[in-house]
């Protein structure tokens, strides 16, 4: 049995069917009924429904599994505590293989969510568990393309001239599945997962325009506008101080530095060329046209 945390997230919903297709039994951790149903539909044999930050839920989640794929939920205020606790519980219960989804350049500690992952990596390294650490670059996210297809505007909340390396989550979850299926071959490994290319927002805009066959606008929006769009009106009710810190640090860091990596490790793991941003946009646009009939 493999425990997958954040199981209906950006990675989880792609990873689950790959593990199930390989004949593995998956225990999925989610916190809403809605996602519980969805992970069951994707083939999860067991579902742990509840807040993984709750020690009782976490203990039940880890109980009896042979391997764990741990993804910290996006900008969760207790991401570090959850990471430490799941490593400790895995050690206590003798889990064979702990695979941690971290981030490219986790040592960049002025990014809040990187510093947390750096700490979790260190905790895992010191635990004595057999581990594999995956370090994906910025995700190619469908969410970021939807407004482009609908309104013709590509928005980022950092300086548009800064360069970024990206990675496709189909590739990331292919690697995650490979590592979990092959196990021992990947013990004690840390893999940077990065697609080809170093793109400014203008480069990304040109690629999207090429796929759509018409020009789109590229705009910088301030971090707080992005935050409001991400979290909705609840942002103003308070209680989001951690998330605000995370997103403001992203804007500051990505506006003052490039965030780039190298695709060699991903190419080797996949045994083929990583998915490019252009391929990702083409695929997403095809799905958008199919779903909406719009071009
Ligand atoms: N975005 C990027 O470009 C990027 C790049 C590199 C690394 N990362 C890192 O990747 C991680 C996020 O990965 P992701 O986007 O695949 O995950 P995600 O989409 O944030 O995960 C959402 C899933 O986590 C579940 N969840 C949230 N809080 C929970 C809780 N307290 N207890 C139990 N389940 C909970 C949700 O359950 P429900 O559906 O039931 O609510 C949902 O299934 C973050 O740590 C982020 O820093 C992100």
Name the pLDDT band for 232 (thresholds 50, 70, 90).
confident
Instruction: Kindly report the pTM of this predicted structure.
Output: 0.98
pLDDT at 237 over 80: no
Helix/strand/coil percent split, the chain, to 5: 50, 15, 35
Mean of per-residue pLDDT scores for the chain: 96
For residue range 44-100, list pLDDT tens digits in order: 999 999 999 999 999 999 999 999 999 999 999 999 999 999 999 999 999 999 999
Q: Show the DSSP H helices in 9-94 as ranges.
A: 12-21, 33-41, 55-62, 79-92
Expressed in angstroms and rounded, the spacing between residue 177 Cα and the centre of ligand 1 is: 17
* Residue-wise pLDDT tens digits, 145-164: 988 999 999 999 999 999 99
Spatial separation of the C-alpha atoms in residues 232 and 241, rounded to whole Å: 14
Q: How far is the CA of 12 from the centre of ligand 1 (A)?
A: 8
Q: Tell the residue number behind the tokens 């605000």, with chain if given.
A: 244
Residue 15 confidence (pLDDT): 98
Map out the domains of the chain as residue ranges.
Answer: 2-139+167-193
Overall residue count recorded for the chain in this entry = 295
- Which atom from ligand 1 is nearest to the alpha carbon of 10? 16
In contact, 10 and 35? CB cutoff 8 Å: no
CA of 215 to the centre of ligand 1 (A): 33
User: What is the residue with the minimal CA distance to atom 31 of ligand 1?
Assistant: 51
Residue 45 token pair: 């044999």
What CATH superfamily classification does 2-139+167-193 receive?
NAD(P)-binding Rossmann-like Domain (3.40.50.720)
pLDDT, residue 224, reads: 84
CA 200 to chain centre: 21
Each residue's pLDDT tens digit, 105-140: 999 999 999 999 999 999 999 999 999 999 999 999
């Amino acid at each position: 049995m493999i425990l997958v945390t954040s199981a209906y997230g950006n990675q989880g919903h792609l990873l689950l069917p790959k593990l199930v297709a390989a004949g593995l039994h998956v225990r999925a951790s989610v916190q809403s009924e809605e996602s519980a149903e969805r992970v069951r539909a994707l083939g999860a044999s067991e579902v742990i429904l509840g807040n993984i930050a709750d020690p009782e839920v976490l203990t039940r989640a880890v109980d009896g599994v042979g391997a764990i794929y741990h993804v910290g939920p996006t900008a969760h205020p207790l991401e570090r505590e959850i990471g430490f606790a799941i490593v400790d519980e895995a050690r206590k219960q003798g889990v064979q293989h702990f695979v941690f989804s971290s981030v490219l350049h986790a040592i960049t500690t002025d990014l809040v969510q990187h510093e947390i992952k750096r700490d979790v990596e260190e905790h895992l390294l010191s635990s004595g568990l057999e581990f594999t650490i995956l370090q994906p670059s910025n995700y190619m996210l469908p969410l970021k393309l939807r407004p482009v297809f609908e309104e013709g505007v590509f928005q980022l909340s950092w300086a548009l001239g800064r360069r970024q390396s990206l990675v496709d989550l189909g590739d990331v979850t292919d690697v995650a599945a490979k590592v979990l299926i092959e196990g021992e071959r990947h013990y004690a490994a840390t893999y940077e997962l990065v697609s080809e290319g170093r793109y400014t927002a203008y480069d990304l805009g040109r690629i999207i325009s090429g796929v759509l066959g018409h020009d789109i606008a590229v705009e910088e929006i301030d971090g707080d506008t992005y935050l409001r769009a991400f979290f909705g009106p609840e942002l103003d009710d308070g209680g989001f101080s951690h998330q605000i810190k995370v997103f403001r640090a992203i804007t500051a860091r990505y506006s003052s530095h490039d965030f780039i990596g190298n695709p060699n490790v991903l190419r080797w793991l996949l045994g083929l060329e990583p998915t490019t941003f252009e391929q990702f946009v083409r695929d997403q646009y095809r799905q958008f046209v199919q779903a909406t009939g719009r071009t």
